[in-house]
Structure 1
Amino acid sequence: MLTPSSEFLPVLTQYFTSQLSGWAPIVAFFVGMVVLIQIINRARWWAYILGGLFVAVFVYLVYIGAELSDAHYLSRNAEEQALILSRVWVNPFAVLAGVIAREMSVWTGAWLAARGRKLKARNAEAQADYEQQLADAQNQAANAYAQGY
């Protein structure tokens, strides 16, 4: 059978939640994305593409650090440290974490940039409407004042 058993999801969940390298990249992505959004806010789409590179590198490095922590890197001898480090840099999950973080930040940024354009247009329209109402009110007040004398 090619279908996973009923124990697959609980085992997978336990595997990722018991290791720092399972959940640290997720937390790093959210922290990196919040910082990116706070810095560039409603910028154009290209700003999120460039900022997504920094988020991806941050998530990649956090994954590597978490993996080294899970492997008890500092308690190993020099040969083992060199072997662990050479394997961690090219770990497919580390690369995948960076790529997924990059794609998610780009698509989230595209959505935020589109929303920013809509809000900017709506705010400009509301400002123009307000200025027109203000000018009409001033004209009415001036006409009422002129008719009074």
Structure 2
Amino acid sequence: MRRADRVMPSVADFVLVDKSDRLLVLYSGGHAFKAYRDLQFGDAPLGHKRFEGDERTPEGRYTIDTRNPQSAYHLSLRVSYPNAADRAYAARYGRSPGGDIFIHGQPNGLASDLRMRGDWTDGCIALSNAEIEELWRLIPDGTPIEIRP
């Protein structure tokens, strides 16, 4: 089947986020089918999230484990951070690993066609409101996500 003949999948079975390229790619059956650019991250975008309040976006393999239609941001999909390794690392230092990491839109109350400037989240991954609406439809709960440096 030629690439032009392929039908866009109705849902993703894998999500890849590349922090350095500020890129989110949806996959189905091993094939990329949709990409989103210009992602926004936590105020300290370099490095893996280690502790609550460090404003870093986690790196590693997680799952999209739930969705929040009543988010303070325009829709949100929760990333399953922290995993067991994240909790163990933070515990070694007597600290909390934090949590509530989401892929979400812009803050509620901001005009729907506007975006905050720069990196502004507390460790989440932000996109435009139109993009999160599309991701809301394309990413089912339980979808694996890999966040790369």
- Indicate whether the TM-score tops 0.5: no
Higher helix share: 1
Q: Which TM-score bucket, shorter chain as reference?
A: under 0.3
Higher relative contact order (CA 8 A, sep 6+): 2
- Could you say which structure has the larger radius of gyration? 1
Task: Provide the TM-score with structure 1 as the length reference.
Answer: 0.23
Task: Provide the TM-score with structure 2 as the length reference.
Answer: 0.23
